[in-house]
Structure 1
């Protein structure tokens, strides 16, 4: 029974590699993908001075973008190209310069055409900074078969 799981993890890893080839924005943010699996992604980044808003707090757009990237890796991990339908974010605490932010996306439900994901952003102290929920539409396009 471990064979399908291993194959699914290998697929998620291959999809991540394909996505990262052309993902200039995730690279710009300095996102480091730590782990992917079926319906799952964990990544992290360090808050830099150019990520701060006018009050020296992590800009909400950076927080949103990091969560959106984790969402993308998680919802595409099954090998079918997926696109966001709806997302929401609740900002609970502000990140600060030098913080290491962990972003963890988990699949909560998966159907033929729709997947639902919860993404948590925490700092190095385990403080919950934001909660992001994403609903993805699953197209019929296979990621690794298309060029």
Structure 2
């Protein structure tokens, strides 16, 4: 006899639907730790193929991981949301072998606009980067 499956939250349902076709997040090796309404926490390991010519984490990788967490958080309410604007401040260099945690939190949610702060920290809790994203919330349900 099959055990009843635990019912997924709206945020978890949306995440699963997004991840089905998100080849880029898979390529980066993003591992989702937690998702909720207006929230996402994920982590990834810095690999050799993610380093730039100076042997440090390529800024595009950091940005991409933050952008994925932003997307998972702002779509978590079940309405298709897209980025209006984003900004990234790089504070420390990521290094080979680092385990980076990316945490997206909703700061404001209105009918059409959401604002999110994303913090990227390493395994020692050092703040590596800050990302701010503003999303446009369409009227289309996911």
Task: Give the TM-score band, short-chain normalised.
Answer: over 0.9
Alignment of 1:52 with 2:51, yes or no, is yes
What's the TM-score, normalizing by structure 2?
Answer: 0.94
Alpha carbon RMSD of aligned pairs, Å?
Answer: 1.0
Q: State the Cα distance separating 1:61 from its structure 2 match.
A: 0.1
Alignment of 1:77-92 (within 5 A): 77-92=76-91
In the alignment, the residues of structure 1 paired with residue 55 and residue 125 of structure 2 have an alpha-carbon distance, to the nearest angstrom, of 20
Q: 2:113 maps to which residue?
A: 114
SS at match of 2:132: strand
SS at match of 1:85: strand
**Aligned residue pair count:** 136
In the alignment, the residues of structure 1 paired with residue 141 and residue 34 of structure 2 have an alpha-carbon distance, to the nearest angstrom, of 21
Alignment of 1:12 with 2:14, yes or no, is no
Q: State the Cα distance separating 1:36 from its structure 2 match.
A: 0.3
Task: Give ranges in structure 2 of 5+ residues lacking alignment.
Answer: 1-6
Q: State the Cα distance separating 1:22 from its structure 2 match.
A: 0.2
Alignment of 1:15-94 (within 5 A): 15-94=14-93
* 4+ long deviations beyond 6 Å: none
Q: State the Cα distance separating 1:37 from its structure 2 match.
A: 0.2
- The structure with the greater share of residues assigned to helix is 1
Q: State the Cα distance separating 1:56 from its structure 2 match.
A: 0.6
In the alignment, the residues of structure 2 paired with residue 59 and residue 125 of structure 1 have an alpha-carbon distance, to the nearest angstrom, of 20
What's the TM-score, normalizing by structure 1?
Answer: 0.91
Q: State the Cα distance separating 1:46 from its structure 2 match.
A: 0.1
